A and B are shown apart, each in its own frame.
Chain A
Amino acid sequence: MIHNIIRNLIYFFVFVLIQVLFLNHIYFLRMATPFLYIYFLLKLPVGMSRGYVLIFSFLTGLVIDSFANTPGMHTAACTLAGFLRDPLIRFFMGKDLPEGIYPSFRTFGYGGFLRYTLSFVVIHHMALFLIESFSLYEPLYLLLRILGSLCMTTLLICIVEAFNISPQKSGEKQ
């Protein structure tokens, strides 16, 4: 239990810091910004109560918002994605997953994790960019931005996940 909390806290700080210090300044071809911080939400243990997942998503969004000066935008998008996390896992992986495992390439399989990640990122990015477009609406540009960011975020998550696989094997005592 304590191991879980510490692990989640470390994930939170590391990915939020990476996001606000480096990734927020990336703007590939003036279109795409990766939002790696949702990796933290992706990796919350399966079977965590939906209330907690919601609160974590909300807080993460709030922290990112306060660094990026965009009150509410990331918060709303993260809350929505966090809310749909459980149904997504159940949809892709079925109901009979052991409680407490972390979503990863190993536990979900490559295809399963990729589908789960992709749909989570799609929900988050759609919400985020649609909210952002309240202040400036250009459909084509919006679509390009969503697609660009989607590719970058998913790619980054897969890279991080690929490097993350070995410490997990030794870290999980089950």
Chain B
Amino acid sequence: MRKLLDFLVRKRHWFLFILLEIISFVLIYQNSAYQRSVWISSANVVTGHVASLSASITSYLNLREINKTLTERNGELEMQLLTLQNQMDKIYADSLSFAGFAPDSTEQHAFRFTMAKVVNNSVTHLSNYITIDKGTKDGITPDMGVVSDQGVVGIVSHVSRNFSVILPLLNPKYRLSCKVLGSNYFGSLRWNGRDARFAQLEELARHVEFQKGDTIVTSGYSSIFPPGIIVGTITDFKKQHDDNFYSLDVALATHFDTLTNVRILMNSKQDEQLRLEEEAMGNDT
């Protein structure tokens, strides 16, 4: 007995080692699950604030770039406004009976959005994450879609009071349902971990017609993104190994390495859709 105790005391670092490794692997496997706890992530109080501090310093560095995209976006919107105004004027001039555009007040658009600043961002890892400076305080909940002014960014994966972590397209865990603009066939977009500028659209049926340079947009089949948000453009394609599907290389519209501002889409009808879908699936079994 004494010898056994002696042995245990002498080898105590072995037990400590095994215990600590078990803890780490539990963390790793918890992480593989889709939702995970916030406390070991960049959304907790300390890491969030350190990240936002460094972001507020580095955000000055690419102000020029941001300024450029904002001006471009502004120009685009102004053009749209002008065209709309033109149309309005035409309608006014056309018919005397036009009484103005009165939208139905009971109908509400399902999607609203909130602006947020990126405080931590990575494109260098295999599983990348983005942290933003809005949290439950601002009404953010998991599974909300995130877009930038260039295109789709990802979805909110977990949320603390002041911060949230986004699972971007640049994470192999995330699959986004997409379609080629103009056709209604859809495939799923996934990143292969290589180049932050490209992702792969898989499982696109072989008879779909498309060309290099065609635009890929969200399909709108999930309740997260509305249909028609730009994801990227086709740069290359090849047959998948089972020959019935295409695999496309898609140049992502969003430049993840210079991302500073994002918008979070809040779908007020998401709950309803999910509940209905769950109910339908529940009836099957």
Name A's B-contacting residues (CB within 8 A). 20-21, 24-27, 30, 33, 49-51, 54-55, 58, 61-62, 65-73, 75-76, 79-80, 83, 131-136, 138, 141
Q: Which residue from A76, A135, A136 sits with its C-beta under 8 Å from B21?
A: A76
Name B's A-contacting residues (CB within 8 A). 12-13, 16-17, 20-21, 23-32, 36, 39-42, 44, 47, 50-51, 54, 120, 122-127, 129, 131, 165, 172-173, 192-196
**B44 / chain A contacts, CB cutoff of 8 Å:** 66
**B54 / chain A contacts, CB cutoff of 8 Å:** 21
Interchain residue pairs with CB less than 8 A apart (19) = A24-B124, A51-B16, A54-B13, A54-B16, A66-B41, A66-B42, A67-B42, A69-B129, A71-B36, A72-B26, A72-B29, A73-B24, A75-B23, A75-B24, A75-B27, A76-B24, A79-B17, A80-B21, A136-B192
User: Least Cβ distance of A45 to chain B in Å?
Assistant: 16
Complex CA distance for A162 and B163, rounded to whole angstroms = 40
Complex CA distance for A49 and B17, rounded to whole angstroms = 13
User: Least Cβ distance of B212 to chain A in Å?
Assistant: 23
Q: List the A residue with the shortest CB-CB distance to B37.
A: A71
User: Least Cβ distance of A135 to chain B in Å?
Assistant: 6
Q: Contact between A55 and B16 (Cβ–Cβ < 8 Å)? A: yes
Known: A61-B24, A65-B40, A79-B21. A70 touches B13 (CB 8 A): no
Complex CA distance for A69 and B16, rounded to whole angstroms = 25
Known: A30-B195, A61-B24, A76-B21. A70 touches B30 (CB 8 A): no
Q: Contact between A135 and B126 (Cβ–Cβ < 8 Å)? A: yes
Complex CA distance for A147 and B4, rounded to whole angstroms = 43
Q: Contact between A27 and B173 (Cβ–Cβ < 8 Å)? A: no
Complex CA distance for A33 and B126, rounded to whole angstroms = 11
Q: Contact between A73 and B17 (Cβ–Cβ < 8 Å)? A: no
Q: List the A residue with the shortest CB-CB distance to B17.
A: A83
Most chain A CB within a 10 A radius of its CB, from B16, B39, B51, B120: B16
**A72 / chain B contacts, CB cutoff of 8 Å:** 24-31
Q: Contact between A136 and B172 (Cβ–Cβ < 8 Å)? A: yes
Known: A20-B50, A54-B16, A135-B173. A69 touches B165 (CB 8 A): yes
**B126 / chain A contacts, CB cutoff of 8 Å:** 132-133, 135-136
Most chain B CB within a 10 A radius of its CB, from A49, A62, A67, A141: A67
Helix, strand, loop or mixed for chain A's interface?
helix
In the A-B complex, list the 4 residue pairs whose CB atoms are closest, starting with the nearest. A72-B27, A27-B124, A72-B28, A76-B24
Complex CA distance for A133 and B125, rounded to whole angstroms = 11
Q: Contact between B13 and A71 (Cβ–Cβ < 8 Å)? A: no
**A131 / chain B contacts, CB cutoff of 8 Å:** 28
User: Least Cβ distance of A85 to chain B in Å?
Assistant: 11
Q: Contact between B165 and A54 (Cβ–Cβ < 8 Å)? A: no
Q: List the B residue with the shortest CB-CB distance to A132.
A: B126
Q: List the A residue with the shortest CB-CB distance to B42.
A: A69
Q: Which residue from B21, B30, B122 sits with its C-beta under 8 Å from A68?
A: B122
**A51 / chain B contacts, CB cutoff of 8 Å:** 12-13, 16
Q: Contact between A73 and B12 (Cβ–Cβ < 8 Å)? A: no
Q: Contact between A79 and B124 (Cβ–Cβ < 8 Å)? A: no
Q: Contact between B25 and A76 (Cβ–Cβ < 8 Å)? A: yes
User: Least Cβ distance of A41 to chain B in Å?
Assistant: 14
Q: List the B residue with the shortest CB-CB distance to A79.
A: B20
Q: Contact between B127 and A24 (Cβ–Cβ < 8 Å)? A: no
